[in-house]
A and B are shown apart, each in its own frame.
Chain A
Amino acid sequence: MSRTALGMPGLRPGSGNLFAEEKFPSAARRELGNSQLRRNLKHATSTIRTKRLNVTGELPDWEELRDAGSALKTSVMARLPELLEAFEANVTARGGTVHWARDADEANRIIHELVKAEGVDEVVKVKSMATQEIGMNEYLEEHGIAAYETDLAELIVQLDHDKPSHILVPAIHKNRTEVRDIFLKEMPGVDPHLTDEPRRLAMAARAHLRAKFLTAKVAISGANFGIADSGTLSVVESEGNGRMCLTLPETLITVMGIEKLLPTFSDLEVFLQLLPRSSTGERMNPYTSLWTGVTEGDGPSTFHVILLDNGRTNALADEMGRSALHCIRCSACINVCPVYERTGGHAYGSTYPGPIGAILSPLMTGVEAEENGSLPYASSLCGACYDACPVKINIPDILVHLRGKDVDAHRGGLPSQLDVGLKAASWALSDGRRLGAVEKLLPLGRAAAGKDKKIKKLPGIAAGWTQSRDIPAPPSQSFRDWWAKEHKES
């Protein structure tokens, strides 16, 4: 995969929406200024966190399930070529057609050709991260084809000409009053007296979508799971809109990342327990659709699946980072992340926000691409994401690994203040005598403190600290010196 050179924003080498668009700290600063957003996020994430803890806590074998999920995905990644070929053979044998897409551009071209061949200018969509990732809606729109989102939250975002900010709850940044206003402004034929009562809003969306379901000839979906040994695909959802899209139209096109495979049908047992509990905090989601190829007289008569790489093989090639591909897009890490809770999803730029996005985007498109290098730093490394992950992706370790790649990518250039500081610190902190000598200088810092023995303003990058925190005046002697005196050593 080609990579964008630094300093050339906007040049997207066919990888779709997998890039930070500006450096995270500045995007975060802007989003932090939106107090409505912070209130919405705090409310939504804390509600879902509590629900998740309730349903994961009630399972005595939750930790074993997580281990099983992790082990299964590790095995899939180790056998990916073989499993993909088995999947292709089984889909084909059951009457489906398999396409392989190297990147977003290729996937979009294939989808466009398939839709064009059906002679239609509109399609209905099941909520799908893969199609968000490749920017399919925008591509089809440019080519005269309207793609209608049928998931309620995706519909809200689409009507508002906005971007999703969460992988499970795309409109998490909108409260119901904002949703009502969007419907009144953008939904054709909507009741002008629409209230912000959730039931009323759902009914308005349902009336709007019903016509689309009944007339659409082509549906496009993603997939939660693809079963290698049967060619079966699965979509897990809450609203039933997915079931309508997957069964009513004549043609179904599914876009699936190559990492979504599971070896056998019985492996679903593990993941259909892990996913709903981790994602919506439900024991089981309302709708689980499974289909294998085509069946005469039942559901779509034409079925295509597009297997999407789009940087997944880059991630797979990274020994320290490849477990990021185990992700089942549950969003548990996003819901527990204190950084996400305060900035929201748009600050991350990419389709994938939060802790998983901070590792996936740079793993897939490169830490050097666009502003991706700032994403791995968007974490205090508190570890809440790792604890919540149903397949035990060690996100903090991968964040640190990617920081290392970012630092190494910039070696040899003009050193930053942090470069200079940390190199000096490495010298001082790798020898007890040197650290002791530095500590003898620390009391000089007492002069920088005011009468109240607080240091309130520091220069350079340390000014980031003193924007909201004091530093106490250093003590008159270090522990090392105290110990030496106590023990009559020199």
Chain B
Amino acid sequence: MKIALFATCIVDGMYPRAAQATVAVLERLGHEVVFPKGQACCGQMHVNSGYFKEAVPVVANHVRAFESEDYDVAVAPSGSCVASVKHQHPMVARRAGDAGLEERATAVGKKTYELSELLVDVLGVTDPAGQLGSYFPHTVTYHPSCHGMRLLKLGDRQAGLLRGVEGLELLDLPEADQCCGFGGTFSVKNADVSSAMLADKTANIRSTGASVCAGGDYSCLMHIGGGLSRQESGVATLHLAEILASTEAEPVAVPGPAGQTVKVVVK
């Protein structure tokens, strides 16, 4: 299968290792990965902040980029950005009165999958240890990000994949379904409420005793990781893709609390 990678802007610029790991996992399964060069961002930050006018060119660019390449499906290591591509892009085009863009955005959205959705539903990954050689001998707790959980209804897909990683001990996160308080510009516009939500999330994470908090969205992980780092908690954050890409021969190092050091091995 030919798979187009939507890296998402935050992973592209700040957490490239999650996109590298996504490539590694997909290639290990024998698929061809392409990276449409024109891609930039899903525009969610603009939409969710009420800047619909400014979101239009961002959406149009995404649609253009993912029309420019020939591929079977597109994938992103983010539930939130995929939900934006699927749900917000047609809405932004409709609000702008651009029926043509709406139709094209809907078509791109239909071909776009969140990583765990693609792995489980399309590529039939049921046994990461066996099929991908996934090996990660650490205690891990898992935060299900809101948009993946509620907008994409990912259910048990991400946690299920983590449970199938050899050596990984998955520890239940209390109040897992509670938002971490990120919410994009919410985290600066309502910084106090956001920080109060984060304090409860990090306390729950620390109560598990896990050395790593895993998730499927680097936006939420940046927020949670930023809190864990400020608290000098010693708990690291890692993306699901990075854990799946880790093997016994070439293990992914558990990064420091701010996520600054990691050795990523591709292929």
Contacts and interface: CB of A to CB of B under 8 A. Distances in A.
Given A423-B54, A432-B61, A25 B190 contact: yes
A301 B11 CA distance: 70
B50 A471 contact: no
7 contacts: A28-B192, A380-B146, A381-B183, A426-B54, A438-B13, A442-B13, A454-B260
A470 B202 CA distance: 13
A339 to B, nearest CB: 5
A287 interface: no
Contacts of B40: 428-432, 434-435
Contacts of B266: 486
B48 A381 contact: yes
Query: What size tier do the contact residues of chain A reach?
Result: 35 or more
A336 to B, nearest CB: 9
A336 B35 CA distance: 40
B258 A32 contact: no
A386 interface: yes
A48 B61 CA distance: 45
Interface stretch (A125-133, A222-230, A474-482): A474-482
A461 to B, nearest CB: 5
Given A377-B186, A426-B58, 13 more contacts: A32-B193, A339-B190, A342-B197, A380-B146, A383-B146, A432-B40, A435-B13, A439-B13, A465-B191, A468-B191, A470-B226, A472-B259, A480-B35
Interface stretch (A246-254, A271-279, A403-411): A403-411
Contacts of A87: none
Chain A to chain B: the 4 pairs with minimum beta-carbon distance, closest first: A403-B50, A380-B183, A469-B226, A464-B191
Contacts of A380: 146, 179, 181-183, 186, 194, 197
Interface in B168-195: 177-179, 181-195
B7 A454 contact: no
B229 A472 contact: yes
A59 interface: no
A331 to B, nearest CB: 18
Query: What size tier do the contact residues of chain B reach?
Result: 35 or more
A148 interface: no
Interface of A: 24-25, 28-29, 32, 338-339, 342-343, 376-384, 386-387, 397, 400, 402-408, 418, 422-423, 425-435, 438-439, 442, 449, 452-454, 456, 461-462, 464-465, 467-475, 477-480, 482-483, 486-487, 489
Contacts of B60: 430
B47 A400 contact: yes
B157 interface: no
B46 A25 contact: no
Contacts of A423: 51, 54
Interface of B: 7, 9, 11-17, 19-20, 35-41, 43, 45-55, 57-58, 60-61, 65, 91, 95, 146-147, 150-151, 177-179, 181-199, 222-223, 225-227, 229-230, 256, 258-261, 266
Contacts of B47: 400
A167 B74 CA distance: 45
Contacts, number: 220
A423 B193 CA distance: 26
B261 A422 contact: no
A487 B191 CA distance: 41
B188 A462 contact: yes
Contact of B226 (A29, A430, A433, A471): A471
A380 B219 CA distance: 13
Contact of A338 (B45, B179, B192): B179
B187 A464 contact: yes
Contact of A25 (B12, B192, B227): B192
A449 B183 CA distance: 24
Given A25-B190, A380-B181, A430-B60, A468 B54 contact: no
Given A429-B41, A479-B7, A407 B50 contact: yes
